[in-house]
Structure formats: C-alpha cells, structure tokens
Structure 1
Amino acid sequence: MVTPGRRRRSATDRPETPWTRPVRLSPADLLRLGLVGVLTRRMRAVLSAVGISIGIATMIVVTGIPASSQRALDDELTALGTDRLQAVADRDAAQDGTPVSFPEKSTAMVERIGAVEAVTAVANTHTSVKRSDRVGPLDESGLTVLAARPDLLDVLNARVGSGQYLTQVTERFPTVVLGSKSATRLGFSEVRPGEPAPLVLLGDQWFSVSGVLHSVPLAPDIDRAVLVGWDAARRHLGFDGRPTQLFIQADDKHIADVRAVLPATVNPESPSIVLVSRPSDVLAAKRSAEATFSGLFVGLAGLALLVGGIGVANTMVISVLERRREIGLRRALGANRGQIRGQFLTESVVLSGLGGLTGVVVGVLATIGYAALSDWPAVIPLEAVTGGFAGAVLIGVVAGVYPAVRASRLSPTVALATT
C-alpha cells in the first residue's frame, strides 16, 4: 500500500552506487575511441583529410612565398637604399648651356641636417677618356669622368670587383677606379695583383687603374663612369670643386622630411635646380602590388579550408549513419550520451588535425622548395603554421558537433534495430 503524498520510487531514481555510476573516460581513452573510425575506414579518412590539408598547405604557401619574396625584396631595397636619396643638378636649368653644379659647401650643409647619417658627392669633370693616345677625338669612349670621394662606396653599398677603391692617400694621385660598364668598354675586365696597372688617358694626363667596381644598382651612372680622386681632379683635370650630384643616407623614419628640405639646403640661392629622387620608390610600389595579391591568395586558402571543413562534416554524418549498431551496442553496455558525443567529436578533431598536420608539412616543404628555386631566403610565417593547425582543429570541432550530438541522441533500441 502506497502512503498518500508519496510516490513509488522507480529503478531510475535509485542513488548511484560505485557499480552503477558511469565510468569517466580519460583523454587517452577518448583518443583511442576517436582513432577507431579513422583506422577502420582509412581511405575515407584520407580523402576527408585531403581537403583540410589542401587548405592548410595553400594557406602556408600563399603566406610563405610572399613573405620570402618580401624578405628578398627588403634585402634588395636595403641594398638599393630605402634610406637613400639622390640630389642631382638639373641640366636643363642653365639657359646658356653652361654646366650646372652645386656650391662647394653643399655637402657640409647637408651634413648639418639632423636626420642625415652620411653624405657624399661626385662631380662631372667634363673630361674625355681614351684608352690610348693613338686614337682621334671621334674614337673617344663616351664615358663620364667623375670626381669622387673615398666614402662613396659606403653610402652607395657598392663593392669592389677587383683591385681596390680610392683611399685618403691614393685619391691625391693620378689613379682611377672604373665602373663595371666602363671597364668593359675600355677593355679592362679586372685588375690583377702583381701585374702592371692598366693606364687610361684622361684629357692629356695618364692615370693608372687601381680597381674595378661591381655593378651599383643604387646609382647606375657609376657603372658608366671613371672615378678619380677629388684632390687629383683638382690638381690634374682643372676641377673647380663644385659637386653635381649628392648621395644622402638618412634615418628612414624621417626620409620624407629630409627630402623636403634638401633643395633649399643644397643650393639656397637656386633650389629649383636641385632634383631629389629616391631610388627605391619603384621597388616599394612592387612590394605594395605583391601585398595585394597575397591578400587575394589568403582568401582562396580560406575558401579551401571551408570546403575541407564541409568534407569532414559530411564524413562524420555518414559515419554516424553507418555506425548506428555500434552506437546502440555501446549505449546498451552503459555508455552515456556524453561519452558518445566525446567519441565522435574526438574522431572529427583527429581527422582534421591529421589533415592540418599534413597540410603544414606540405606547405612548409613547398615554400622552402619554391624559395630555393627563386633564390630567395625561405621565410615560414609562424602565425601561418600555428594558425593553420589551430584552424584545422577548430574546423574539426565545428564539423563534429552536429554528428556527435546526433549520435548521442540515438536510443539503444532504435540503434540496435537498424539493419
């Protein structure tokens, strides 16, 4: 007889005992359960992981290759001088055709600008160059003789190909250094140690060749020039000491400010004859264009990841439909809904994680290979690697939520009755 106010206690209302309480699965157990579906259906798992791996590999490649290209471009820009400026005398400024030049103290005046780190000058001496005194005026080489200073190479990031450049001592003597193209035109490919120095005729004065320069990307005019010391040009060529071109190195953060005040500083009386240029402007525009294409490729990589995530979700849904009897058997043996959800969610994450790991390896190897073929420094953005793998795991979680919940809601009787 049931006492009024009390209801009969059913079997499900009985307190849990250590023998009836569900067993809590450890992370290792969940991982083993998650690997069951992957290992028993290997081909399907591989095909599902391929979509994720393609997306991750694409993301790493489309971020790594532009990063490698940008590093190579940055190195080139550094060599060409992102912090360099050129001030050239405007040849068209003179109405009577006389050569245009800057004041002798222009270099010292530019050095007083606070952000300027180094400055040097060259000057056109308007002197003819010949390899021999046996040729006539019509056989002149057409090269430019420039008076230069010992610090020219440092400011231009230039290098000597053979021999040596002008020093504080040799710039006073009749010695010249040839640019790469002027050396080829004059027939002196290199200066060999231990052999007599080649001679060239500047005006009516013989000069010995002490060195040959490599090509100077920052100042192509130097490649077609014959460089003579500043003091030697005064003494032997009638040079008046007025420069026609300045090369300035300044703090990159203040390069625009320096550029704005250069004309009035170089030539206060006639600032209009001073033309200021920045050699790296063209390459900077190229880098901007590459950044635009990089953003486009990242968008394509995201689309590939989305397609891969849909593939994983589809695989997991089909897996739940095919494994109903397995789910029913596990429920009948005591597995609760949380354990079923954990199994299928773990399987989805494992599937996506394997695809992400494969994509990371393929993307890194592809980036390194392409950079090596292009002679670039290989740059693998850490954010792309970690973000790509984390994104693959996140896709696995999102793609596995619905199949896991669906599997956990199957009752044991319905699941076991499924044929």
Structure 2
Amino acid sequence: MTVRTTDAQTTDARTADVRAAPATIREALRPARLGPADVVRVGAVGLRTRPLRAFLSALGIAIGIAAMVAVVGISSSSRADLDRTLAALGTNLLTVSPGSTLTGGQAQLPSTAEQMVARIDGVRSVSAVGKVAGAKVYRTDRIPKVETNGLAAYAVRTSLRGAIGARLASGVWLNAATARYPAVVLGATAADRLGIGRADRNAQVLVDGTWFTVVGVLEPAPLAPELDTAALVGWSAAEDRLGFDGHATTVYTRSAEAKVESVRELLGPTAAPEAPSEVQVSRPSDALAAQRAAGQAFTGLLLGLGAVALLVGGVGVANTMVISVLERRAEIGLRRSLGATRGQIRSQFLAESLLLSALGGAGGALLGLAVTVGYAVYQGWPAVVPPWALAGGIAATLLIGGMAGLYPAIRAARLSPTEALATP
C-alpha cells in the first residue's frame, strides 16, 4: 500500500524534526533571511527576464500618470493665465475716496489715510492720487482759460503705476528724482487731446501756469479711467509748484484675494477713524467671484481625471502581476522546494509590483512634465506644474501598485511546492 502525505503533513513532520534536532542543526536548517537589497534584486528578476512585458506594463502605467500630470499641469497653467488676466481686471483692487459730510459738504481724507490703510492685515500695497484743485492743463499759454478740454492735474505717488496695473505707451514713469521736479506723465486721452503722440524732452505742457516736461504717456488704464484725462505729476512737485494741499482724493489698495472682503470692512474705519461714514469704499470686483468659481471647477476636474488615471494604472499593474504568477508557477515551486518561505515569495512578487509601478510612475511624471511645458509654451501661458502633482503621482502609483500586486503576491505564496511543480 502506498501512503500519500499532504504538503501540510510534510511540513509538520519537518518542523517536528527541526525542533528535535540540536541547536546547530536547527540554525543550519532555518531559511535564510532576505535583506531589503536582496528583496529588490529578487523582485527585479521578473523584470529582467521579461523586459518587453515589463516595458509595456510600465508604459501603460506611465501613460496613465503622464495623463494625470499633464492634465493637472495644463489646467494649472491655464488657471495661472486666467488668474493673470483677472488680476489685470483688478480682482483684489479696492479704492477709498472721500464722501459727503453730514451737512452735505465734500469730505476730506486725513493726511494719514495711506499709512493707516497700509497697516491692515492682508493689504499688500497702497498708493494714492490727489486732485489738484483748480489746476488746468494746456498745450500752450495762448489757449483761452475756459477751454480746459476736460483735463485735470493729479498729484501721484510713484507706486501708483504698479497699484493700478497701468502700462506706458512711451517714455518712463515718475521716480523718486523726477517726482520732485516739473515732470509729467500724461494719460492716454489727455495726450491725444493735447496733440502729444509720445514722450519727448522737448514736449512740454502748461499745468496751472507752470511748464512741465512730458516724460511719459500711459496706455488707457481700465482700473482707473479718471486718470486717462489727467496730467500726473509727482506728489512733492505738486505741493511745491501747484499749491497742492497734500490730501489724497483716492487711495488704491491691493489685498490678498482671500482677505478682500475683510479688508473692505476695515478700510473705512481705518482710513478715517473719526468719521468712517464720510468715506466711500469700492466693492470687490465681480471678476473675483468668477475667479473663485473657476478655481473650484478646476479643482474638481483635476481630482476626477487624476483618480481615473490612477485607476487605469492600478488595473494594469494587477493584470500584469496576475499573469506573471500564472506563468511562473514552476519557478515558484522550485524556490519553495529549495527552502524559500511563503513570506519570501510574497515579498518577491510585491517588490516586483512596486518596482514596476515606480518605473512607470517616474517615467509618467517626466513625460507629463514635458507635455505640460511644451503645451504651455505653445499657448503662451506660464508653465505651472504643482510639485504635489509630481510627488503625489509617483506616491499614488506606488500605493496602488502595492495594492494591485498584493493579491497576486499572496496567491503566489499560497502555492505549495508539489502543486506548483506539477502544473505544466
């Protein structure tokens, strides 16, 4: 009679023999431990012996990750371009101007309004203009005084151009030196009405009886259209030569977008603490709401497409590893017969899955980065690839690759040596 023993009985008998053996024999029969470097080398065997399959599997993962990174990068670049366009529309620009007094007269901003507003939390920049009362602008002194052509003179801070996003059509903007001397920058409409096409050291205009040299001409300023019909002179020059009283008529503030509403609530009491009701504060631009809505839409799109790309990559890894286990049953049986434990078999296939995912994730991240930069340059957008998209893509690939390879690894470890070797 032939007595058949199962794999479990054989293992139990072997364990009993090992326990009964002396300590030195038990030590010799104990399976060798695999260090991290050994696990990586053993896991790479499947990739080296089947390079074409490994390449195609990694390519599938790379395409999924590249799609995710490219979608995130292109969307982020498009959003950056949209933010830049909306910023030019003054989404975070607020203005403070004097209103009316309780008696119906014209109020006046305190001379400390700018300094006080600059202290508000969230305010990034402050600038101001002051209308020079009674000052008119003429091309020559031969024009009748009543023909003002609707032009006015404003004293301006040198920081005004950056605050309102104004651009120069020609010439230069006022600086710390020219702001103290009779130099003037003309608004777009003012320059056209005065017949001055471009800035020139020989071009002069008469401002309240004083000759000023035209050093610059602005393009139309959509955020401050009142300056299009104005002659802009330095604050100090206006006080010294035009009798300017030093009180601002409009204070411009740029705030952090997340704090625009809170800054607006504080502008009135801060600019004129003694009479906050006599101050007019502009409301936030409608473009700010549009910008936030676009940001939420982009975020939802990125999360959805990123999840789909990662799911596709995970399915590819799982499929590759399941087929690998089925094709390598003989190898698994041979290793088990030579003393490899179930844990070592499990570690081998799990390491192979992680290596495959790492190769695909890294390649996909680089490919997605290249696609994003190329498309952004082609469209004229700022190239923006969030670091979290690159790092997150690789990390998520490793996580999903590990999860996808876990079942095939466990399945491989459960194969007994006799069952695996008996499989054709």
Residue aligning to 1:5: none
Residue aligning to 2:171: 162
Residue aligning to 2:7: none
* Aligned CA distance change for structure 1 residues 260 and 329 (closer, same or farther; 3 Å): closer
Deviations 1:216-242 (A, max 9, x none): 565344344322456877899898877
Superposition TM-score, scaled by structure 2 size: 0.73
Q: 2:17 aligns with which of 5, 14, 18?
A: 14
Question: Contact 1:349 / 1:393 at 8 angstroms: preserved in 2?
Answer: yes
CA shift for structure 1 position 317: 1.0
CA shift for structure 1 position 318: 1.4
Instruction: Supply the distance in 2 between the matched residues of 1:370 and 1:131 (Cα, whole angstroms).
Output: 50
Letter of the aligned partner of 1:54 in structure 2? I
Q: 2:37 aligns with which of 6, 17, 28?
A: 28
In the alignment, does 2:119 pair up with 1:115? yes
* Aligned CA distance change for structure 1 residues 412 and 118 (closer, same or farther; 3 Å): closer
Residue aligning to 1:298: 303
Residue aligning to 2:160: 153
CA shift for structure 1 position 380: 3.9
Instruction: Supply the distance in 2 between the matched residues of 1:235 and 1:51 (Cα, whole angstroms).
Output: 73
CA shift for structure 1 position 299: 2.3
SS in 1 for 2:339: coil
Question: Contact 1:66 / 1:291 at 8 angstroms: preserved in 2?
Answer: no
How many residues are aligned here? Answer: 398
Deviations 1:233-283 (A, max 9, x none): 7899898877543334679998656533545655977946x4322666624
More divergent stretch after superposition (287-296 vs 335-344): 287-296
CA shift for structure 1 position 181: 5.4
More divergent stretch after superposition (16-25 vs 393-402): 16-25
Letter of the aligned partner of 2:156 in structure 1? R
**Which runs of 5 or more residues in structure 1 are unaligned?**
1-8
Q: 2:186 aligns with which of 164, 172, 178?
A: 178
Instruction: Supply the distance in 2 between the matched residues of 1:282 and 1:243 (Cα, whole angstroms).
Output: 27
In the alignment, does 2:356 pair up with 1:351? yes
Instruction: Supply the distance in 2 between the matched residues of 1:288 and 1:107 (Cα, whole angstroms).
Output: 39
Residue aligning to 1:208: 213
Question: Contact 1:110 / 1:266 at 8 angstroms: preserved in 2?
Answer: no
Question: Contact 1:33 / 1:343 at 8 angstroms: preserved in 2?
Answer: yes
CA shift for structure 1 position 126: 7.1
Residue aligning to 1:415: 420
Letter of the aligned partner of 1:123 in structure 2? K
Instruction: Supply the distance in 2 between the matched residues of 1:289 and 1:250 (Cα, whole angstroms).
Output: 20
* Aligned CA distance change for structure 1 residues 25 and 354 (closer, same or farther; 3 Å): same
Question: Contact 2:264 / 2:281 at 8 angstroms: preserved in 1?
Answer: yes
SS in 1 for 2:401: helix
Question: Contact 1:200 / 1:208 at 8 angstroms: preserved in 2?
Answer: yes
Question: Contact 1:317 / 1:403 at 8 angstroms: preserved in 2?
Answer: yes
Q: 1:369 aligns with which of 353, 370, 374?
A: 374
CA shift for structure 1 position 305: 0.5
CA shift for structure 1 position 309: 0.6
CA shift for structure 1 position 151: 4.2
In the alignment, does 2:272 pair up with 1:282? no
Question: Contact 2:114 / 2:128 at 8 angstroms: preserved in 1?
Answer: no
Instruction: Supply the distance in 2 between the matched residues of 1:115 and 1:252 (Cα, whole angstroms).
Output: 17
CA shift for structure 1 position 353: 1.1
Residue aligning to 1:53: 62
Residue aligning to 2:96: 87
Instruction: Supply the distance in 1 between the matched residues of 2:258 and 2:288 (Cα, whole angstroms).
Output: 18
Instruction: Supply the distance in 1 between the matched residues of 2:130 and 2:85 (Cα, whole angstroms).
Output: 24
Instruction: Supply the distance in 2 between the matched residues of 1:405 and 1:299 (Cα, whole angstroms).
Output: 31
**Which runs of 5 or more residues in structure 2 are unaligned?**
1-11, 19-24
* Aligned CA distance change for structure 1 residues 53 and 115 (closer, same or farther; 3 Å): same
Deviations 1:45-75 (A, max 9, x none): 3333234323433443344445556666777
Q: What percent of counterpart residues are identical?
A: 45
Letter of the aligned partner of 1:366 in structure 2? V
Instruction: Supply the distance in 1 between the matched residues of 2:147 and 2:114 (Cα, whole angstroms).
Output: 39
